[in-house]
Chain A
Amino acid sequence: MASKVTVIGTGNFGSTVAFILAMRGSCHEVVLRGRNIDIAKGKALDMSQAANAAREHTIVRAAETAKDMAGSEIVVITAGAPRSPGMNRDDLLVKNAEIVKGYALEIKEYAPNAIVVVVSNPLDVMTYVVHKYTGFPRERILGMAGILDSARMAHFIYEKLGYGAGQIRATVMGGHGDTMVPLPKFTTVAGVPIADLLDSEEIGEVVQKTRDGGAQIVNLLGSGSAYYAPAKSTAVMVDAILKDTKQIHSCAVLLKGEYGYSDIVSGVPVMIGAAGGEKVIEMSLNDLQKTRFKNSVASVKEMVDALCATRFFEDCEE
C-alpha cells in the first residue's frame, strides 16, 4: 500500500505542510481535506505539478469526503480559526475545540489506524480533545509544539552568535503558549553548551524572545499567524514517523504519570518512530524548572476545565 498522509485544513499552514512533504517526496500520496473542496483541488493540482518539477513521486489530491482519508498512515490536523492580533490563544478555545472534535470523529471512523499529529491551537488542549474523541492510544496522538519553539529559540540564539546555524539544539518543554519552559541548560551549539557562548543576560533575552516568538510574527503580519516554521516543524514529525527515525523531539503528549502528571497533555521529549510517540523521556528538572512546568500544566488544565464547564466532554466531573 502506498504511503499516505492526510492534511486537514487547506489554509497557509496545512498547504505548506503538504507542499514540504511533496517537495521532499516524503510519501507517495498527500490528501488535502478542507471545507472548500475546490480550493483543496486547486492547491492539490498546483502541488502535484510542483512535485513533477522537483522530480518527486508524490501525488497530492483533494478529499471529496471524509472517506478519502481511509488508509492514511498519518493525519495532520491544522484546522481551526486563525489567531488574530490581540487574540489570546485561549480565546480560540471553544471555537477550535468544536472544529477539532469533528475531525477527530472522522479520523476515528475512516482512518482508525492513523497516527494523528495535532497543530491546531491552543495546541495542548486540542491534542487532549483528539484523545478524548478518538480514544486512540497515546502513542498515536502527538501535538506539534516543541520542535517549533526549539527552532525559534535556535534562531534567536543564532542572532546573538552569528554562527552555528543549523547546529543549534535548543530544548523547550511545557505548554505551547505563554507558559512554555525553555531550557537553556539543555541547549547546545554543535555540542558546546550555550552557557559557554552567551552570558546569562543574553540567554534571558533569548528565552523571552522565544516566548514572544509567535506573537511577534502575528503583530508584523497584521492578519494571520506564522506558518513556514510551524509547517516545517510538522513535516519533521511526519518524516520521523514515516522513516521510523527514532529521533527525540519535544511533542505534546498525554502524560501517564511522567513528571508527576496524568490525564493531561504537555510538551515533553518523545522518541518518534513508526509507531508514533514510542517513548516518553523523563528528564531530571531542577526546582525552578519543575515550578515552571507545573504552571504550564496548570494553564492547560484550566482550559480543559473551561471546556468541561461547557459540557464539551462526556466524562467531565461535576
Chain B
Amino acid sequence: MVNRKVGIVGAGAVGASAAYALTLMGVCKEIVLFDVAPGVAHGKAIDIAQAGYYAPQDTIVTHVDIASDMKNCDIVVITAGVPRKPGMTRADLLMINAKIMKDVVGNIVENSPNAIIICVSNPLDVMTYAIHKITGWDRNRIIGMAGALDGSRMAYQISKLTGISKRQTGSLVIGDHGENMIPLPDKILVGDVPLNELISKEDMEGIIERTRFGGAEIVKHLGTSGYYGPGRAIAHMVEAILNDTHTIISSSVLLDGEYGFSNVTVGVPAVLGRNGIERIIELKLDEEIKTKFKVSVDSIQSGIDILNENNFFKGE
C-alpha cells in the first residue's frame, strides 16, 4: 500500500462524492477517476483536487480517459452501472450491469492485478458475486459496500428519534443491500446504553422500516438516489483498508460456510484491513433473524440464478 492509490470507476455522483470525501479526509496519496462520459472525470478531478487545498493531507486527484490507463491501484472502487429505467425488468437490469462489470473488471485484472475491489454497483450483492466469479480472486479482495451505508442510515434514524449524538450510535445491518436487508437496532448501544432501554418496541420497528427504506426516502424527494452518504461510506471502507485499521464494517462478502451458506454474497460484519476482508464475524442469530437472513440470501440467489440462466459466466 505504499502508493495509497485508489481508482474510482464511474465518476457520477457516487464516485465523485467518494473521491471528494477521501480527499477532504486526506486518506489517499492519489485518486484516479474514470468515466465513460467524456470530460466528466476530468472536470471533477480538477474541482476535487482544488478543494483538497483545505484538507489535512495532500491528495493527488487525476483522471484517465481510457479505462486501461488506470494502473497499479491498491483499491479500485466500482460505481459504474445503469439505474433501473421504466419498462426494464429486474433481469434486464441485472444483465446490463453484469456486462458492465465484466468490462470494468477485465481492465482491473490486467492493470491493477493486486488491487482490492470495492463494489458499489447495483444490485449490490449480485454484482459483488459477479466480480468474484469474473476475477476468480481470493474472496478477501472483493467487498461489496452495503452495511457501511445502511448502518449510517440507521444511526441517523436513531439519532433523529432520540436526540442523542449520531457519533456514538452503533449500527449493525446485515442481509442484502435491498428490500430484505436486516437492520439490527436491538443489538446496538447508544453511548453506554442499549437502544431498547431508550425507545419503545414500536419505535424500534419504525427504525427498522425507515432504515430499510432509507434509500427510497431520498429518491422520493430528490428524484434520484442519494450519493453523499454512499460516498462517505465508501471512504470509510477505503480508510480501513489503506490504514489497516481492522475495523468491523458490515459488507457484502462471499460466504464459505459462514452462517450456513456458501457460494453466495451477502452482508455480514467483516473486519477490514490491508488484505481487504481480514475476518468474517459470525453473529449468533436467533431463530427469527435466521429466517429473515435466509429470505435475504434467497433473494440474492435468485439474482445469481438469472445470471446463470443467461449463461453469463460461460464465456461469450
Contact = CB atoms under 8 A, between A and B. Distances in A.
A248 B164 CA distance: 7
Contact of A195 (B165, B188, B284): B284
Given A163-B278, A164-B271, A248 B284 contact: no
A247 B189 contact: no
A167 B125 CA distance: 25
B118 to A, nearest CB: 18
Nearest to A183: B192
A146 B192 contact: yes
B247 A166 contact: yes
A196 B286 CA distance: 12
Given A163-B246, A165-B246, A166-B245, A188 B189 contact: yes
Contact of A171 (B184, B187, B192): B192
Nearest to A268: B192
B172 interface: yes
B248 A189 contact: yes
A105 B249 CA distance: 49
A120 interface: no
Given A186-B194, A246-B165, 17 more contacts: A163-B247, A163-B278, A169-B191, A172-B192, A186-B189, A188-B189, A191-B188, A193-B187, A195-B284, A196-B283, A245-B167, A247-B165, A249-B192, A269-B192, A271-B164, A281-B193, A281-B197
B191 A192 contact: no
A250 interface: yes
A186 B283 CA distance: 16
A78 interface: no
17 contacts: A146-B192, A163-B279, A164-B271, A166-B247, A167-B247, A188-B170, A190-B247, A190-B249, A191-B171, A191-B172, A192-B283, A193-B283, A248-B168, A248-B191, A248-B192, A282-B197, A283-B197
Nearest to A248: B191
Which residue among B193, B194, B281 has the maximum number of chain A CB atoms within 10 Å of its CB?
B193
Nearest to A245: B165
A193 B165 CA distance: 21
Given A162-B246, A192-B187, A197 B197 contact: no
Q: How large is the interface on B (under 10, 10 to 19, 20 to 34, 35 or more residues)?
A: 20 to 34
A169 B165 contact: no
Contacts of A245: 165, 167
Interface in A130-150: 146, 150
Interface string B225-265: 00000000000000000000111110000000000000000
Contact of B269 (A171, A190, A249): A190
Contacts of A269: 191-193
Nearest to B279: A163
Nearest to B173: A191
A190 B192 contact: no
A189 B284 CA distance: 14
